[in-house]
């Protein structure tokens, strides 16, 4: 193969659609700290995602830190999953919070509410769950556990842009949800993110915190940070948003071909799509290869197909965390470990040609 095939490739809006907005920015010289495109993107995203409030941020990691800060979670322990992108745990550590890990459920990839409950102590201050691959967590189970102990529940919904469950946005679950608009995600602003709040007061708190805590020219209401999204990225996002439905439809049809081609390969398992009452975004195409996953990864790589082992290693196995957590008894998390040791995410992005996809599945069948 001539050029490498990456696991994802950023979706970009047509340049012609961006150009008039860029001209306007050059004319107005309003570059950041809010502006027309920022206001419009917050409005249009709220409409598209079907949530009352959207607060744009500079990225998904800062979105998590802002959510924790706005909910007043400033010390103690937070129960989270080892099966995620490292940023989920990094955000806790940067916020001075101690991550405590619970296992994922044996079916699926998200936190098991029963395992979460086992980790709760008087030091527990919140639960941070992740909708891995955009598959909804067991939200009812997590809500029950959080409710029983009076704990705030935050969702890292970085993979769950546009996902709906029982006719409602998945982003309505929990006390707050965060999004990432990084170039690798279903919807991107190159870098960017958002926090989804339940109330206007909370949205306003996030909006102050992302701008150093300023509540006016001469007043600071909290230890804020700089997490603002600039006008260029907001304009890019407005142009991208017009195409996101097409992008998801295209992802859906590629997902269907993968399922058709790989569903009966004995050496691997294709995890089922989310339940019927879920409108999914087809953000990833993971397969589980219990034997020889790394060999398959290497062989595909030598053919120029760069799959990714999302999420391997487990967060608890990365060196800074191994040392940081050495003194605490880390939960065994056998389900997370099994997933990490067998998962392989295959290339999936809207302009992946079907021919290329079929070449990938043919090679996988050959190597398995």
Footprint of ligand PLP (CB under 6 A): 59-61, 84-85, 87-88, 130, 156, 158-159, 180, 182, 193
Nearer residue to ligand PLP within complex by CB, 209 or 364: 209
Q: How far is the CB of 66 from ligand PLP (least distance, A)?
A: 12
325/140 Cα distance (integer angstroms): 30
Nearer residue to ligand PLP within complex by CB, 8 or 262: 8
Q: How far is the CB of 180 from ligand PLP (least distance, A)?
A: 3
Q: How far is the CB of 116 from ligand PLP (least distance, A)?
A: 17
12: which 2 tokens? 């970009």
For the chain, the C-alpha Rg in angstroms (whole number) is: 21
DSSP three-state, residue 366 = helix
CB 169 within 8 A of CB 47: no
Q: 94 Cβ partners below 8 Å, 6+ apart? A: 65
Q: How far is the CB of 300 from ligand PLP (least distance, A)?
A: 22
Nearer residue to ligand PLP within complex by CB, 5 or 87: 87
Nearer residue to ligand PLP within complex by CB, 59 or 316: 59
Q: How far is the CB of 156 from ligand PLP (least distance, A)?
A: 5
Q: How far is the CB of 191 from ligand PLP (least distance, A)?
A: 6
59/99 Cα distance (integer angstroms): 21
Nearer residue to ligand PLP within complex by CB, 262 or 333: 333
Nearer residue to ligand PLP within complex by CB, 127 or 364: 127
Chain Cα centroid distance, residue 86? 11
Pairing of strands 153-156, 124-130: parallel
Instruction: Write out the E strands in 149-204.
Output: 153-156, 164-165, 168-169, 176-180, 193-197
Reference 110, options 324, 283, 333; nearest CA is 333
- Pure H helices in 135-190: 139-149
């Amino acid at each position: 193969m001539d050029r490498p095939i990456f696991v994802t490739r950023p979706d970009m809006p047509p340049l012609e659609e961006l150009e008039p907005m860029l001209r306007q920015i050059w004319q107005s010289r309003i570059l950041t700290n809010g502006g027309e495109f920022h206001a419009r993107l917050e409005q249009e995203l709220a409409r598209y995602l079907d949530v009352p409030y959207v607060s744009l941020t500079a990225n998904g990691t800062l979105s998590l830190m802002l959510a924790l800060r706005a909910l007043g979670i400033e010390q103690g322990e937070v129960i989270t999953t080892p099966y995620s992108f490292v940023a989920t745990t990094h955000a806790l550590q940067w916020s001075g919070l101690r991550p405590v890990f619970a296992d994922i459920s044996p079916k699926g990839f998200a936190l098991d509410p029963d395992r979460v409950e086992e980790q709760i102590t008087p030091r527990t201050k919140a639960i941070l769950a992740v909708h891995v691959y955009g598959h909804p967590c067991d939200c009812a189970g997590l809500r029950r556990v959080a409710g029983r102990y009076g704990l705030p529940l935050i969702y890292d919904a970085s993979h769950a842009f546009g996902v709906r469950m029982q006719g409602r946005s998945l982003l309505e679950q929990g006390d707050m949800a965060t999004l990432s608009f990084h170039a690798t995600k279903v919807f991107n602003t190159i870098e960017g993110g958002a926090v989804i709040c339940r109330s206007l007061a909370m949205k306003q708190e996030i909006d102050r915190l992302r701008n150093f805590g300023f509540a006016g020219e001469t007043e600071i209401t909290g230890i804020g940070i700089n997490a603002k999204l600039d006008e260029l990225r907001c304009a890019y996002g407005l142009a991208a948003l017009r195409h996101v439905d097409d992008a998801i439809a295209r992802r859906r049809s590629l997902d269907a071909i993968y399922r058709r081609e790989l569903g009966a390969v004995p050496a691997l398992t294709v995890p089922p799509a989310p339940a019927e009452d879920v409108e999914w975004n087809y953000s990833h195409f993971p397969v589980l290869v219990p034997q020889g996953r790394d060999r398959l990864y290497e062989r595909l790589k030598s053919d120029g197909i760069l799959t990714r082992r999302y999420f391997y290693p487990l967060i608890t196995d990365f060196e800074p965390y191994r040392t940081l957590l050495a003194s605490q008894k880390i939960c065994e998390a056998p389900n997370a470990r099994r997933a990490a040791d067998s998962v392989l995410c295959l290339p999936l992005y809207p302009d992946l040609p079907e021919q290329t996809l079929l070449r990938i599945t043919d090679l996988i069948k050959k190597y398995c």
